[in-house]
Amino acid sequence: MEPSIPATAAPPTIQVRNLQTRFFTRAGVVPAVNDVSFNVGRGKVLGLVGESGSGKTVTGFSIMRLVDEPGRITGGEILFDGRDLVKASEEEMRQLRGNRIAMIFQDPMMTLNPVLRIDTQMIETMQAHTKISREDARQRARDTLGMVGIPSPDERLKAYPHQFSGGMRQRVAIAIALLHRPELIVADEPTTALDVTIQGQILAEVQKLAATTGTSIVWITHDLSVVAGLADDIAVMYAGEIAEYGAVSNVLDHPLHPYTHGLLGSVPSRNKRGEPLRQIPGTTPSLLSLPPGCPFQTRCPRAADVCRQVPPMAEILPAHEARCFRPHLENAEAA
């Protein structure tokens, strides 16, 4: 189905439609990403929120076409610049990766190759996509490092990753992602492994970059507070599906899906002092043995017989979709 939001004038940078990615493991077929659809407009930030195992990272890798065996994209479309990335050849994808679509990984300690110098790892990225002399490439690497706030980039280029702190390494990774001014960045929890202060700095810089360069960002995170300050739109994932999708203010202020509702209730800052934290009962179900119908029904306080049917994604409020038969409409009415 066609996602109706966001209603911006310019065509979206990327449109994901009914994406389906499965893992064919020995224990069975795992539907890691199921019928996922969203758009990201130019210069917009989409927050892709979910617990671990909800399929948000696999969605990110699916966009990059970097899902490894035994996983495979088994259906849907990823439209980027008028073509479907699902059908693109490996070489076409290679030319897009790191060039027009870049990715930042979760753990900065692991993303840079420990035995290669920073300059090597930056220059090779440029030389993979453009004919550029080593000197020019070095110049650009230096400028980009400066841009992401790395002091004395000249010296730092000659260093190895282990000589950097975690925050600095993530800045280097971000610099590598920015080298070609990509139209889209897939950021997979890039601040989770960092200290809160550094997290704040990086968030602010990313926001500034998105605004000034027009880069679209898919920001994958489990942290609702990060999304609240950063994203324009938000998609909440549960058990491989998008449970709720809409503009950030709509979703956070009037959550429709009981899962989003529960998620917001379990964030301390949103509760009044002294009030006990609410929590979602039970645990995330195994994707191998999902109940028929709504995957959230076993933990849902509002579950009813109807929930044994598969709920469709529906635009329940304007610019606000949810995959639920019994959404929290009272929130919207109260507002």
Partner 1 sequence: MSVYLLRRLIQAALVMLAMSIIVFVGVYAIGDPVEILISPDADQAERARAIAALGLDKPLWQQYFSFLGAALQGDLGRSFVFNEPALKLIGQRAPATLELAFGATIMAVIVGLPLGLYAGLRPKSFGAQAIMTGSILGFSLPTFWVGLMLIMVFAVQLGWLPSTGRGETVEILGMRWSFLTWDGLAHMAMPALNLALFKISLVIRLTRAGVRETMLMDYVKFARAKGLSPTRVIGVHVFKNILIPVVTVVGLELGSTIAFSVVTESVFAWPGMGKLIIDSINVLDRPVIVAYLMSIVLMFIIINLVVDLLYSVLDPRVRLESK
Q: Which residues of the shown chain bind partner 1 in the complex (CB under 8 A)?
A: 64, 66, 68, 94-99, 102-103, 105-107, 110-117, 124-125, 128-129, 160, 162, 173, 176
Q: Token digits for 10?
A: 């310019």
Provide, rounded to whole angstroms, the least separation between the CB of residue 174 and partner 1.
12
- The C-alpha atoms of residue 158 and residue 198 are separated, in whole angstroms, by 23
Provide, rounded to whole angstroms, the least separation between the CB of residue 230 and partner 1.
21
Provide, rounded to whole angstroms, the least separation between the CB of residue 261 and partner 1.
34
Provide, rounded to whole angstroms, the least separation between the CB of residue 111 and partner 1.
4
Query: Quick count: other Cβ atoms within 10 Å of Cβ 116?
Result: 12
Query: Cβ closer to partner 1: 94 or 222?
Result: 94
Provide, rounded to whole angstroms, the least separation between the CB of residue 95 and partner 1.
7
Alpha carbon separation from 257 to 125, 254, 297, 321, 322 (Å, rounded): 42, 9, 11, 9, 6
Helices 196-213 + 166-178 axis angle, to 10: 10
Query: Quick count: other Cβ atoms within 10 Å of Cβ 236?
Result: 28
- The C-alpha atoms of residue 173 and residue 191 are separated, in whole angstroms, by 12
Query: Cβ closer to partner 1: 85 or 102?
Result: 102
Query: Cβ closer to partner 1: 162 or 208?
Result: 162
Q: Are 166 and 109 in contact (CB under 8 A)?
A: yes
User: DSSP assignment of 143-187, as one string?
Assistant: HHHHHTT-SSHHHHHTS-GGGS-HHHHHHHHHHHHHTT--SEEEE
Provide, rounded to whole angstroms, the least separation between the CB of residue 49 and partner 1.
22
Query: Cβ closer to partner 1: 187 or 316?
Result: 187
